[in-house]
Amino acid sequence: MTFHDFCTRLSTIEKTSSRLEMTALLADLFNTLQRDDVEPACWLLLGRLAPLYVNLEFNFAEKMVMRVLAECVDTASTKADNKERLSSVLSLFKSCGDLGDVAEHLLHTHAEDTRSILEVFNALLALAKEGGVGSQERKLQHMAEILRKSSGLTAKYTVRILLGTLRLGFSQMTLLDALSWAKTGDKSLRKPLELAYQMKADIGKFARVFLAEGEKGLDSFDIELGIPIAPALCQRLHTADEMIEKMGKVYVEPKYDGTRVSIHIQKSGKEWHIRTFTRNLEESSGMFPELATDRALDAIDADEIILDSEAVGYDPETDKLLPFQQTIQRKRKHDIEETAARVPLRFFVFDILYKNGKNLLHIPLYERKEILEQTIKRGSVFVLAPYIITDSPKELREFHAKQLSTGLEGAVIKQYASEYQPGRRGWSWVKFKEEEGAVGKLSDTLDCIVMGYYKGQGKRTGFGVGAFLVGVRDEKSDTIRTVAKIGTGLSDDQWKELKTRAEKLAVKSQPKEYLVHENLIPDVWMKPSLVVEVAADEITNSPTHSAEKALRFPRLERFRDDKTPDQATTVKELRAI
HSE-up of residue 335 (Cα within 13 Å, Cβ side): 6
Q: Which of 551, 540, 531 is nearest to 483 (CA)?
A: 551
Q: 321 forms bridges with which residues in the sheet?
A: 314
Specify the DSSP class assigned to residue 376.
B
β-pairing verdict for 479-486 and 514-515: parallel
Backbone torsions φ then ψ of 51, nearest 5 degrees = -65, 165
* pTM score of the predicted model: 0.83
Closest CA to 107 of 63, 68, 162, 62: 68
Q: Is 563 a catalytic residue?
A: no
Long-range contacts of 132-139 (CB under 8 A, 24+ apart): 139/60
Question: Using an 8 Å Cβ cutoff, are 226 and 563 in contact?
Answer: no
Gap between the Cα atoms of 577 and 445, Å rounded: 9
Strand partners of residue 524: 453
The 3-state DSSP class for residue 21 equals helix
Phi then psi dihedrals of residue 475, to 5 deg: -65, -30
3-state secondary structure of 91: helix
Q: Is beta strand 524-526 parallel, antiparallel or unpaired with respect to 446-454?
A: antiparallel
Consecutive H or E run containing 8: helix 3-14
Say what the pLDDT of residue 440 is. 47
User: 354: which DSSP letter?
Assistant: E
Q: How far apart are the C-alpha atoms of 410 and 283, rounded to whole Å? A: 28
**Residue 344 Cα distances to 317, 321, 326, 347, angstroms:** 11, 10, 10, 10
Distances (CA, A) of 50 to 8, 195, 274: 22, 21, 20
Cα 171–Cα 172–Cα 174 angle in degrees, nearest 5: 70
Residue 80's pLDDT is 62
Per DSSP, what are the bridge partners of residue 325?
none
Distances (CA, A) of 122 to 3, 51, 489: 12, 15, 48
- Asked whether the beta carbons of 365 and 251 are under 8 A apart, the reply is yes
Walk along the chain (577 residues) and give the pLDDT tens digit of each residue. Answer: 999 999 999 999 999 988 899 999 999 999 999 999 999 999 999 999 999 898 888 888 888 899 888 888 764 445 567 778 888 888 888 888 889 999 998 888 888 889 999 999 999 999 999 887 778 888 889 999 999 999 999 999 999 999 888 888 888 889 999 999 999 999 999 999 998 999 998 999 999 999 999 999 888 888 999 999 999 988 888 889 999 999 999 999 999 989 999 999 999 988 899 999 998 898 999 899 999 888 899 999 999 999 999 999 999 889 899 988 888 888 877 888 888 888 999 999 999 999 999 999 999 999 999 999 999 988 778 999 999 999 999 999 999 999 999 989 899 999 999 999 998 667 899 998 876 555 445 667 899 999 999 987 665 666 788 899 999 999 888 899 999 999 887 888 888 899 999 998 998 889 989 999 999 999 999 999 999 999 888 888 998 999 999 998 898 988 988 888 988 999 988 887 7
Which residues in 271-415 belong to E strands, given as ranges?
274-277, 304-313, 345-355, 358-359, 382-384, 388-390, 410-415
Q: What SS3 state is found at 278?
A: coil
Report DSSP state, residue 377: P
Which of these is catalytic: 139, 255, 355, 563?
255
Cα separation, 225 vs 304, whole angstroms? 8
Cβ count within 10 A of residue 374: 12
Domains 3-163 and 446-576 share a fold: no
Give CA–CA dist 146/370, Å, rounded: 55
The radius of gyration of the chain from alpha carbons, rounded to an integer in Å, stands at 25
Domain boundaries, the chain: 3-163, 235-432, 446-576
> Is residue 168 within 8 Å of 512, Cβ to Cβ?
yes
Q: Taking every pair of C-alpha atoms in the chain, what is the biggest distance, in angstroms? A: 83
> How many other C-beta atoms can be found within 10 angstroms of the C-beta atom of residue 118?
16
- CATH number assigned to the domain covering 3-163: 1.10.3260.10
| CA pair distance 173, 204, nearest whole angstrom | 13
Q: Which CATH class is domain 235-432?
A: alpha beta
Q: How far apart are the C-alpha atoms of 408 and 434, rounded to whole Å? A: 11
Cα angle 572, 574, 577; round to 5: 110
Instruction: List, in sequence order, the alpha helices (H) in 310-382.
Output: 324-327, 336-342, 365-375
Closest CA to 222 of 22, 359, 424, 396: 359
The answer to whether residues 116 and 3 touch, using CB atoms and an 8 Å cutoff, is yes
Question: Domain 446-576 falls in which CATH fold?
Answer: OB fold (Dihydrolipoamide Acetyltransferase, E2P) (2.40.50)
d(CA 446, CA 333): 28
Report how far residue 27's alpha carbon sits from residue 1's, in angstroms, rounded to the nearest whole number: 15
Closest CA to 253 of 101, 158, 170, 372: 372
H helix or E strand, kind and range, residue 143: helix 135-148
Under DSSP, is residue 6 helix (H, G, I), strand (E, B) or coil?
helix
